[in-house]
């Protein structure tokens, strides 16, 4: 192939790619750019077994690229004619010889069912277009074709009907090139046998009858016409019976699906209920733990307040009146009183409650900005307003869970502050007591020496 021909093929490929990416409906899941590339690849593979001229190879590959661009019309009807027109306009703009244009159009039209190739490159194009029938990818490609047909037409094709159509098509379809007959035909027959193996006895009889009728019609149309008229009524009756059966099956299937949906909804509801109970139990346990820890903190603070007030009371009532006679004990006394007083202050701070504003607005409720589970946020509100706010809270699970989370969080913050202050109180008391006792010992020691 000449460099000019190669350059033209690159332009053709880009043109076809742009059409499929921008102008062909995504509903064409089979007749798309991927299928086009497969046809081009198959054309090249089959063409290697022939000694084609550069012009023939150019015509073949151009037709392979452009044989399905007519699908941009949005319908499969007469897409070959649309493809021919687009190909002709494109090639004439690039001043391609009319002989090549005619060859390309011939290859494109040869793919129209029933296929009717008139020369070698048209035979190659036809076999490449149906290359997938004789490959292991047949089932996957066939499913895409059915999905495409169902997406483009109102009446859907069922699996049973689609299987029969494919069996009839595979039994009638014939490859034209020696390569396809040798390489593809055996695999196609295996694919056909796989489809036949899925049929019931009645379906096999119907398919065989339809195929035999088609073959006979091709050989002697007048002889078959009378037989066709006689069997047409029986076929219609069978189809009607099968349609009724299919309708009954569809109804049963719908009932089963409806039951499955209800069971699934019930299961989801029960699962959600169990989850809600678990969450509520978790919040309850966490709240109880926080309250217990808060009570422990208050008890520890009360111990510190009681002990230190007793010590301070004793110091005030006993030692302060006698310090004028024992001046050496003034500093130890101060070292004892100051830590005790500081410990009492920190213990009181740990138990001292914070007072909030005790009110909220409707905007706070609507924006979910207030925690109604804490009394400090509502104790100044009237009962009707609080009742309304609580009902709003209970109707909004997200708001309710958010309030419970905030309640746990702020309880933890308060607990952390309490324990921090109590720890400071205990530390001050402990170190102050040790230092003051040491100071009293030193004072006694020096007082004995002076005496």
**Helix H or strand E segment including 181:** helix 178-183
Q: Answer whether 393's CB lies under 8 Å from 371's CB.
A: no
Q: Residue 26: is its pLDDT beyond 90?
A: no
Q: How many CA atoms lie within 13 A of 306 on its CB side?
A: 6
Q: Answer whether 344's CB lies under 8 Å from 304's CB.
A: yes
List of long-range contacts for 416-424, beta carbons under 8 Å, 24+ apart: 417/350, 418/294, 418/297, 418/298, 418/301, 418/350, 418/351, 419/297, 419/350, 421/301, 421/346, 421/347, 421/349, 421/350, 422/297, 422/300, 422/301, 422/304, 422/346, 422/347, 422/350, 424/346
Q: Residue 233: is its pLDDT beyond 70?
A: no
Q: Tens digits of per-residue pLDDT, 413-442?
A: 888 988 999 999 999 999 988 998 898 888
Q: Answer whether 150's CB lies under 8 Å from 156's CB.
A: yes
Q: Tens digits of per-residue pLDDT, 206-226?
A: 555 544 444 443 334 343 334
Q: Answer whether 207's CB lies under 8 Å from 200's CB.
A: no
Q: Answer whether 350's CB lies under 8 Å from 421's CB.
A: yes
**Helix H or strand E segment including 292:** helix 221-314
Residue 255: predicted pLDDT: 82
**Look-up of token digits 């037709």:** 63
Q: Answer whether 54's CB lies under 8 Å from 1's CB.
A: yes
Q: Tens digits of per-residue pLDDT, 321-339?
A: 677 777 777 888 888 889 9
Mean pLDDT of 63-73: 85
Cα 31 versus chain centre, distance: 28
Which range has the worst mean pLDDT, 37-41, 105-109, 153-157, 302-306? 153-157
Task: Return the number of other C-beta atoms located less than 10 Å from residue 19's C-beta.
Answer: 20
Q: Answer whether 57's CB lies under 8 Å from 104's CB.
A: no
Residue 423: predicted pLDDT: 92
Q: Tens digits of per-residue pLDDT, 337-346?
A: 899 999 999 9
Task: Kindly list the structural domains of the chain, giving each domain's residue range(s) and its CATH number in brackets, ordered by start.
Answer: 3-239 (1.10.3210.10), 289-450 (no CATH)
| DSSP symbol at 115 | P
Sequence length of the chain is 451
Task: Return the number of other C-beta atoms located less than 10 Å from residue 30's C-beta.
Answer: 18
Cis peptide before 85 (omega within 30 of 0): no
Give the Cα separation of 118 and 104 in Å (integer).
Answer: 13
Question: Per-residue confidence at 67, pLDDT binned at 50, 70, 90?
Answer: confident
Is 103 buried (19+), middle (13-18) or exposed (0-12) by CB count in 10 A? buried
């Amino acid at each position: 192939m000449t460099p000019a021909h190669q350059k033209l093929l690159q332009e053709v490929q880009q043109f076809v790619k742009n059409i499929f990416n921008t102008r062909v409906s995504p509903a064409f899941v089979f007749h798309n750019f991927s299928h086009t590339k497969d046809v081009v690849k198959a054309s090249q593979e089959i063409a290697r077994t022939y000694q084609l001229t550069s012009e023939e190879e150019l015509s073949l590959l151009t037709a392979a690229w452009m044989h399905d661009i007519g699908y941009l019309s949005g319908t499969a009807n007469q897409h070959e004619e649309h493809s021919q027109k687009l190909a002709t306009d494109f090639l004439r703009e690039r001043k391609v010889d009319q002989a090549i244009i005619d060859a390309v159009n011939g290859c494109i039209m040869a793919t129209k069912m029933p296929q009717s190739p008139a020369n070698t490159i048209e035979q190659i194009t036809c076999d490449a277009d149906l290359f997938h029938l004789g490959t292991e990818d047949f089932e996957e490609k066939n499913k895409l074709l059915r999905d495409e047909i169902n997406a483009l037409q109102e009446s859907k094709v069922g699996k049973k009907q689609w299987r029969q159509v494919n069996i009839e098509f595979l039994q009638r379809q014939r490859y034209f090139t020696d390569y396809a007959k040798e390489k593809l035909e055996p695999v196609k027959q295996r694919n056909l046998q796989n489809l036949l193996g899925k049929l019931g006895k009645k379906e096999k009889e119907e398919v065989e009858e339809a195929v035999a009728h088609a073959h006979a019609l091709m050989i002697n149309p007048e002889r078959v016409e009378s037989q066709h008229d006689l069997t047409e009524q029986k076929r219609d009756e069978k189809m009607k019976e099968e349609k009724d059966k299919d309708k009954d099956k569809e109804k049963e299937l719908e009932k089963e699906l409806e039951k499955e949906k209800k069971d699934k909804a019930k299961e989801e509801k029960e699962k959600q209920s169990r989850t809600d109970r678990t969450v509520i139990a978790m919040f309850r346990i966490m709240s109880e733990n926080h309250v217990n820890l808060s009570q422990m903190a208050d008890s520890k603070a009360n111990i510190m307040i009681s002990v230190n007030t007793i010590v301070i009371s004793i110091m005030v009532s006993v030692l302060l009146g006698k310090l004028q006679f024992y001046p050496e004990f003034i500093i130890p006394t101060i070292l004892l009183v100051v830590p005790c007083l500081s410990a009492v202050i920190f213990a009181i701070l740990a138990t001292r409650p914070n007072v909030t504003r005790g009110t909220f607005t409707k905007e706070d409720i609507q924006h979910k900005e207030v925690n109604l589970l804490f009394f400090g946020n509502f104790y100044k509100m009237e009962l009707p307003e609080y009742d309304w706010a609580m009902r709003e809270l209970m109707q909004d699970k997200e708001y309710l869970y958010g309030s419970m989370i905030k309640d746990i969080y702020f309880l933890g913050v308060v607990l952390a502050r309490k324990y921090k202050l109590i720890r400071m109180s205990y530390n001050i008391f402990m170190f102050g007591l040790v230092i003051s006792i040491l100071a009293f010992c030193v004072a006694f020691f020096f007082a004995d020496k002076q005496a």
